[in-house]
Amino acid sequence: MPERTDADLTLYYAPRTRAFTALWLLEELGVPYRLESFDLASGRHKHPEYLAQNAMGKVPAVVDGHIAVSEIGAIAIYLADRFGDAGLAPVIHEPDRAAYLRWILFNAGVIEPAYAERFNKWEPRPANHAWGSFDQMLAVVSDGVKIGPWLLGARFTAADVVVGSTLRFGLAFGILDKHGPIGEYVGRATARDGFIRANAIAEREAERFSPRPR
């Protein structure tokens, strides 16, 4: 869906950040939205008016009319339910709803901390860490994407946007193997029209704030 300056839904976005996940989700939902894009170097995300939308001073944040939503998991759940006609969220009475919610929360609660463990070379202590360990995370995710083509089987959902975006990040930084089930899963996800549209916008915004030398 093309961006619209008069849309009631606004995405606060910065290039080369986790905000890409919300951008991708909006393109998958196909709803009109306004992109409020800025460079983190500007410090705008630490200004009081932005902190009123996201107290952590991070991106993304979404404002739907007068409702502000922050944290990518909450944004995904809110938007997919809010625009349910797009079919990206099982409704409350569907059996897949539990697995759907689990994967969205697994992303921030397990995958991202496990990445930090690997990046920072922390000594894994599965009994003490809520995320277990990087190796445990990897085994669970690998099994999850093997079901295929998506986390809930045949149905693509907002959980695939959230998890797929984070796994793509892991592949880009070399902490996940691009060969095997995770690489194949990310390949399927990034071949979707919604991702392709979002990626084009992301490249445009990155170039706008950090143009390549000519």
Q: Is the pLDDT of residue 212 over 80?
A: no
Domain 97-192 listed as CATH 1.20.1050.10: yes
Q: Is the pLDDT of residue 206 over 80?
A: yes
CATH number of 9-87+195-205: 3.40.30.10
In 139-149, which positions are buried (b, 16+ CB within 10 angstroms) versus exposed (e)? eebeebbeeee
Parts of the chain belonging to CATH 1.20.1050.10: 97-192
**Cβ 13 vs Cβ 36: under 8 Å:** yes
The pLDDT of residue 7 is: 78
Mean pLDDT (the chain) is 93
Partners of 145 in beta bridges: none
Parts of the chain belonging to CATH 3.40.30.10: 9-87+195-205
Contacts for 185 with CB less than 8 Å, ≥ 6 apart: 145, 148, 149, 164, 167
Structure tokens at 93: 């009475």
pTM: 0.94
Q: Is the pLDDT of residue 213 over 60?
A: no
Percent of the chain residues topping a pLDDT of 70: 95
Distance between CA atoms of 169 and 115, rounded to whole angstroms?
10
Residue-wise pLDDT for 155-183, tens only, equals 999 999 999 999 999 999 999 999 999 99
Residue-wise pLDDT for 28-73, tens only, equals 999 999 999 999 889 899 999 889 988 999 999 999 999 999 999 9
The pLDDT of residue 176 is: 96
Confidence of residue 128 (pLDDT cuts 50, 70, 90): confident
